[in-house]
């Protein structure tokens, strides 16, 4: 007999050791997230997957599924919190979607649309962060980085190179390149590395391939798939 838990009134089967997020994803139920990846250990950084369990809030990506567990996710209160977190990500960096090569393929953009985000809401930070175009094949735009650490984990755990790391503290936390010069061209990064392809936003992009997919055929046009279906990923105008 399969183990099950309850998510928003729906019975979700799970395997021993599986998390609430992974089980929900396998069952076709979407819980918003940005830093999670099924091939890596749970990270719990972005907090977008926060759910409510027995009166307490916890990250669904780190919460082990248990028989009879009752989980709330798709509620007005939780989605409002997720929307505020997403709005803060938009103002903390430079996420002008119409001018970004990742538009239509960006998980942050699609998540904002899914959550009904109609404006950034908060004042823009306008941070002065460098753009590194030194690499012959890869562009690094730190103004778009959301510190999900996916590139760090991919480089370390899959590519075996440790090209990226986090530096600084608090609001000064930023992505750093593991090279004496701090530039991509002097690192071991290759265009074939997973770290060069895993970014969910437009911070790490291949050169000479921008806007290659027509509108209507992009990842999140019409309906979306972000490790599970986004219900209405294109309902937000201007995002």
Residue 231 · residue 114 · CB < 8 Å? yes
**Per-position pLDDT tens, the chain of length 239:** 579 999 999 999 999 999 999 999 999 999 999 999 998 998 989 999 999 999 999 999 999 999 999 999 999 999 999 999 999 999 999 899 988 999 999 999 999 999 999 888 999 998 888 999 999 999 999 999 999 999 999 999 999 999 999 999 988 899 999 999 999 999 999 999 999 999 999 999 999 988 989 889 999 987 544 434 444 333 333 33
Indicate the Cα dihedral angle 159, 34, 236, 30, nearest 10°: 110
Separation between Cα atoms, residue 136 and residue 133, nearest integer Å: 8
pLDDT for 145? 96
Separation between Cα atoms, residue 205 and residue 105, nearest integer Å: 11
pLDDT for 233? 36
CATH of domain 81-209: 3.30.70.20
Residue 109 · residue 99 · CB < 8 Å? no
SS3 190: coil
3-74 and 81-209: identical CATH topology: no
User: Architecture of 3-74 per CATH?
Assistant: Roll (3.10)
Q: Which residues contact 23 (CB under 8 A, 6 or more apart)?
A: 5, 12, 13, 14, 15, 65
pLDDT for 223? 56
Q: How many residues make up the chain in this entry?
A: 239
Domain boundaries, the chain: 3-74, 81-209
Give the H or E element holding residue 204.
strand 204-206
Indicate the Cα dihedral angle 184, 47, 92, 180, nearest 10°: -20
Q: Which residues contact 66 (CB under 8 A, 6 or more apart)?
A: 3, 5
pLDDT for 1? 53
Enter the tokens of residue 181.
Answer: 């010069």
Query: What is the pTM for the complete model shown?
Result: 0.88
Side-chain-facing half-sphere of 121: CA atoms under 13 Å: 13
SS3 174: strand
Residue 204 · residue 190 · CB < 8 Å? no
């Amino acid at each position: 007999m399969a183990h099950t838990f309850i998510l928003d009134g729906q019975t979700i089967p799970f395997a021993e050791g599986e998390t609430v997020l992974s089980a929900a994803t396998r069952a076709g139920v979407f819980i918003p997230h940005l830093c999670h990846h099924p091939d890596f250990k749970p990270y719990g950084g972005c907090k977008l997957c926060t759910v409510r369990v027995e009166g307490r809030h916890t990250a669904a990506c780190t919460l082990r599924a248990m028989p009879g567990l009752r989980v709330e996710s798709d509620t007005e209160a939780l989605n409002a919190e997720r929307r505020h977190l997403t709005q803060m990500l938009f103002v903390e960096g430079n996420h002008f979607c119409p001018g970004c090569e990742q538009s239509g393929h960006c998980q942050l953009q699609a998540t904002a649309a899914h959550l009904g985000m109609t404006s950034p809401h908060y004042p823009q930070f306008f941070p002065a962060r460098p753009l590194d175009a030194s690499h012959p094949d890869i562009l690094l735009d730190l103004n778009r980085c959301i510190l999900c650490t996916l590139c760090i984990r991919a480089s370390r755990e899959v590519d075996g190179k440790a090209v990226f790391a986090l530096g600084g503290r608090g609001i000064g936390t930023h992505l750093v390149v593991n090279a004496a010069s701090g530039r991509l061209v002097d690192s071991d990064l290759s265009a074939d590395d997973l770290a060069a392809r895993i970014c969910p936003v437009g911070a790490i992009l291949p050169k000479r391939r921008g806007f290659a997919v027509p509108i209507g055929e992009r990842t999140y046009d019409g309906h979306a798939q972000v490790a599970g279906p986004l219900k209405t990923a294109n309902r937000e105008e201007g995002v």
